[in-house]
Amino acid sequence: MESQARASVKYLPVSSDIPPLLQSCKKRQPIPINPTEAWQRFTRRTASRKQLKTALHARQNGLCVYCEITLDNSENQNIGSHFDHILPKEKHPTLTFDYDNLVLSCFATGGEIKADEQDTAPVSCGHAELKRTNNFHETLFIKPTDSNCEHYFSFELDGGAIPHAGLGSSDTDKAEHTLEVLNLNCLRLKRLREDTITQLYQIVSELHSDNDVLKRFLTLELQENKSFINARKQHVG
């Protein structure tokens, strides 16, 4: 793997800092008989929901774990977030309350962007059709908790996310499958990424004669809570 490879699926190290209400629920129900119902019961409780959301938000630096968009910033249409099980709880009941199988993904449930003639499939990440319907190959799907997930993708100037050029054929297959399952090359995301990259290059070129100002600008723009942080790092880091 080459060091300049960057993530699209953002790496989340395994955490020992598990929200207590989630942990106690997992203790009570290590293998729920009806995972969907058990999960709904958990998230209906405001305290449980808030505690988990706060923990994941901090763990992910406020970014969607899949596309790296800012979750609570109106600059990105304020699309909200939902809890996503990386591997489906219906197929893996033991992972229903597993903190390392839980992430925040973009789009509040019910608040997804509607398709139109120009952008026929604007919904990505946890609510993308293939991910939402669990219609993917688990062995090919690159999980945010895979320690090497950050090595699979790179970003083009037009905003496209592609498998990193240094990958072998089986890793390229995994990257392509993951991009497809999460719909990470929808028009909406490509445009947002392209705008981010283009704007960065423009400002970097305007500031290139003043090294101190440029350094300060890049320090701010490469903070871990910035949308598309890994596309930023790849291009101007």
The residues binding Zn ion (CB under 5 A) are 64, 66-67, 106, 125
- Is the Cβ of residue 25 or residue 104 nearer to Zn ion in the bound state? 104
**Smallest distance from Zn ion to CB 65, Å:** 7
Cα–Cα distance for residue pair 106/84, rounded to 1 Å: 9
To Zn ion, the closest distance from the beta carbon of 68 in angstroms equals 7
Rounded to whole angstroms, the Cα distance separating 145 from 86 reads 9
SS3 104: strand
Query: What backbone phi and psi angles, to 5 degrees, belong to 161?
Result: -100, 130
Nearer to Zn ion, 55 or 106 (CB): 106
Rounded to 5 degrees, φ, ψ at 82 are -140, 160
**Beta carbon of residue 186, minimum distance to Zn ion (angstroms, whole number):** 10
Q: Which residues have C-beta within 8 Å of that of residue 26, sequence separation ≥ 6?
A: 96, 97, 98
The CB-of-223 to Zn ion minimum distance in angstroms stands at: 19
> Which residues share a beta bridge with 105?
82
Measured from the CB atom, the residue of 70 and 96 that comes closer to Zn ion is: 70
Amino acid letter, 79: I
Minimum Å distance from CB 214 to Zn ion?
A: 30
Q: Report the residue number, 25 or 69, with the smaller CB distance to Zn ion.
A: 69
Please, what is the minimum distance in Å from the beta carbon of residue 66 to Zn ion?
Answer: 4
In one-letter notation, the amino acid at residue 151 is H
Nearer to Zn ion, 32 or 228 (CB): 228
Contacts of 62 (CB under 8 A, 6+ apart): 70, 71, 72, 73, 225
Distance CA 155, CA 230 (A): 9
The minimum distance between CB 200 and Zn ion, in angstroms, equals 20
The C-alpha atoms of residue 123 and residue 4 are separated, in whole angstroms, by 29
For residue 153, which phi and psi values (nearest 5 degrees)?
A: -125, 150
CB nearer to Zn ion: pick between 42 and 228: 228
Kindly tell me which of 64 and 186 has the beta carbon lying closer to Zn ion: 64
* Three-class secondary structure of residue 87 per DSSP: coil
